[in-house]
Structure 1
């Protein structure tokens, strides 16, 4: 039986991953700050991952076959994890936003983002850059490492408020702010990314891998799934979430080659909107 440690995993699709790993017969331990209890049948350790001494104390002599890190946002956190955690394989949940500086008109393959120079002295990181540097910190180590670059996640339990922004405004007949020429990106349902992360955790490949449903979507497509008569206002800056001024679509052919079959956004987009309306 594989022993898996999940850092985070207390809400949204992270909890779904923990439950799927448990149901697959895996010996699962969750480590978080204790604000949310672990699902039944799952061991629970309480620690702040930013507190290296506290993390060591909570883990004791434990070692794991795989660590799935759902909450690593900076290279500082990555370096602490590298020093403290004992594992044969490390899987980090990363993001499509590591490609923020890429400019292309074709789907973005993993090779477009190379390991970054890590600057541990920077006081703050933008989300995408923090994730990119965290990937680089792990990749520089000796432990086999996977970074799952996750597309924009949609679903009824989304706590970010991004999809809700559209549902509430368009249901009320209000306009949403968009770029003059909004470009498409890649999305995935919370249920599917939970499936993918479970699969990736139990697999044996290494390196970066993109995760997203087939069927690119622009903000216009999202709005059309919510309202039959959506209203828009074109702005130069501070557009609504998911309005992109550049092509930002993931190439998921590596995941397909490794054996995972993604759904298509039309399979679940309407369902995600209705989930949110009922939430």
Structure 2
């Protein structure tokens, strides 16, 4: 059994991951700022991960077979973790995002996409992607800040990593009813249920999704593996926003209504005017069996409908 530290892990699929690791018999510790208590049988360390001295003090002399970093959003956070966990982590797994591939947030000069997007499409350690560990570059939007922060955090770890390192590029995570704190699926349930038009692009592209329990299962599986580098995590199938609306409408017994937005205008979540659905072939070749969006999406809609009733 392994000694595992989960940074974050207090909600959604991170919470499910912690209980899975505990139930397998591992010695599990979570590190956070004290927002919520861990489940029984799981230890906790209190520290602000941005405060390097406080983080070192909280860890004391501890080391871990695996560190799972659920809440690394910036190159500064990655640089702190890289220094602090050098010599302490036998393996480091960072939860990243499919947003690193988003053409709308990629720097000028990036290579054109092939879809679905495989891991080797993006090397964040090479120009034009690589950023300094403390970036002062202005971010034009929250989406740009999130995507660029994750890309540059990956770059910090991937440049001469002091431990075996994995970045898990997650698809859009759905399911769990109220636990799905982003409210993106609830957006559709509420609008379609009320007969309110859903804002969509004229020709929306498909995107990648994964169920929250499948995401926890994938991270749990990754902890037990030895591969390194980026890996995409996505269920099979890439429905567009119209397919998502159809699944919601079928559960609610309503006909969806749409409002087509102009180019550049903000649309509903998961309506995309560019393609970057992910290829999950690397993870599948390594041995993980993904489910299909079409199989779990109706249940996720049902959960959300009950939670928002």
Whether TM-score is above 0.5 comes out as: yes
Confirm or deny: 8 A CA contact 2:203 2:273 kept in the other structure.
yes
Which of 234, 240, 246 aligns to 2:260? It is 234
Give the whole-Å Cα distance in 2 for the aligned partners of 1:169 and 1:3.
45
User: Which 5+ residue runs of structure 1 have no aligned equivalent?
Assistant: none
Aligned to 2:35: 35
Higher mean C-alpha deviation, range 134-143 or range 100-109: 100-109
How much does 1:26 deviate?
1.0
Which of 283, 290, 296 aligns to 1:268? It is 296
Give the whole-Å Cα distance in 1 for the aligned partners of 2:271 and 2:4.
37
Q: TM-score, normalised by structure 1?
A: 0.97
Secondary structure of the residue aligned to 2:290 is: coil
Confirm or deny: 8 A CA contact 1:4 1:27 kept in the other structure.
yes
Q: TM-score, normalised by structure 2?
A: 0.88
Secondary structure of the residue aligned to 1:194 is: helix
Q: What is the CA deviation profile of residues 109-166 of structure 1, one whole-angstrom value per residue up to 9, with x for unaligned ones?
A: 0000112312233246611111111111011122110000000000122111111111
Confirm or deny: 8 A CA contact 1:103 1:246 kept in the other structure.
no
Shift in CA distance, 214/3, structure 1 to aligned 2, threshold 3 Å? same
Confirm or deny: 8 A CA contact 2:133 2:156 kept in the other structure.
no
User: Which 5+ residue runs of structure 2 have no aligned equivalent?
Assistant: 104-110, 140-144
Give the whole-Å Cα distance in 2 for the aligned partners of 1:118 and 1:25.
39
1:54 equivalent to 2:63? Answer: no
Give the whole-Å Cα distance in 1 for the aligned partners of 2:112 and 2:289.
27
Give the whole-Å Cα distance in 2 for the aligned partners of 1:211 and 1:164.
23
Aligned to 2:192: 170
Give the whole-Å Cα distance in 2 for the aligned partners of 1:104 and 1:115.
15
Q: Kindly tell me the number of residue pairs found equivalent between the two proteins.
A: 279
Give the whole-Å Cα distance in 1 for the aligned partners of 2:296 and 2:183.
19
Q: What is the CA deviation profile of residues 236-256 of structure 1, one whole-angstrom value per residue up to 9, with x for unaligned ones?
A: 211111000112211111001
RMSD, aligned CA: 1.2
Confirm or deny: 8 A CA contact 1:110 1:210 kept in the other structure.
yes
